[in-house]
Amino acid sequence: MMDLALIVLVSGVCLLSLLLLAAVAVVRVLSDRRRRDRLHQWAAQHRWTVTPHPAVDWGARLPGGNRAGVSVALSTTMNGYVVSVAEYAYTATQITTGSDGVGGTTTSTSSHTHHFVVTVVRLPHSCPSVAVERRGTISKLAGNLFGSSGVPTGHPEFDHHFRITAADAGAVRGLVTPALVQAHLAGAVPTWSLYGAELLSYRPGRITDPEHLPGIAAPLVHVARLLTGGGIGPV
């Protein structure tokens, strides 16, 4: 009788856990749907376009390297530049092996999805590949695209805090101008990478409020203006 009661109790707890997980999943789906609907409504009102799962290769330059990780992109034109703000994600799986306490081993697997907001500004023409990132950070801005050695600018404070990687070290001086150096030191612009005609930056998070989209894009547009104002020529 006690065994039957225990079985019923355990079954009830398992059922309740499953119902709670299902409820959480439903709430999450409904929340994501409302968020997507709000993005579409806001975009239509403010002359932005929404592209679900755009055919882009930005993931190759982002953490996790998930080429299919961009789920949605919202685009417009700001100060003459075509700008996109997108959501990107990748899932990391960790396998942990330990002792079971009686001479054997146990293996557990856990997964975590990382979310990022990505900003891309398209320049009028292709440029030499270059990236600026903060020193002491693990970044995919440069990745395997430009090599790992830093290119000094000759500005001690900038070179202390930032690292420049470039496919052509000789092109850095024409790209990273004194005005751009000062903008980085003032914290007015984000770290970024330039590959072809695409200027890219990213930060952890998701697009929670579409009203923030212009503010998210503006700092990278400022980088684009400083780059193109510095006399960059096509390659």
Tens digits of per-residue pLDDT, 172-194?
A: 888 889 999 999 999 999 999 99
| Each residue's pLDDT tens digit, 123-175 | 998 988 999 999 876 555 544 455 555 788 889 999 999 999 988 888 888 88
Antiparallel, parallel or unpaired: β 70-78 and 81-99 = antiparallel
Q: What is the pTM of this model?
A: 0.77
| Each residue's pLDDT tens digit, 26-40 | 545 445 677 778 888
Q: What is the mean pLDDT of residues 52-70?
A: 94
From the list 22, 75, 105, the residue with the least C-alpha distance to 214 is 75
- The tokens of 20 are what? 């709670």
**Per DSSP, which regions of the chain are E strands?**
49-52, 70-78, 81-99, 105-134, 162-166, 192-204
Cα separation, 107 vs 157, whole angstroms = 48
pLDDT (0 to 100) of residue 91:
94
Residue 119 clears pLDDT 80, i.e. is over it: yes
Cα separation, 178 vs 63, whole angstroms = 29
pLDDT (0 to 100) of residue 150:
79
From the list 114, 124, 139, 138, the residue with the least C-alpha distance to 61 is 139
Q: Where does the pLDDT of residue 95 fall: very low under 50, low under 70, confident under 90, or very high at 90 and above?
A: confident
Instruction: Round to the nearest angstrom and report the end-to-end CA distance of the chain.
Output: 82
Residue type, 19: L
pLDDT (0 to 100) of residue 127:
87
Site of tokens 């990745």: 143
Which H/E stretch holds residue 217?
helix 213-229
Cα separation, 118 vs 60, whole angstroms = 13
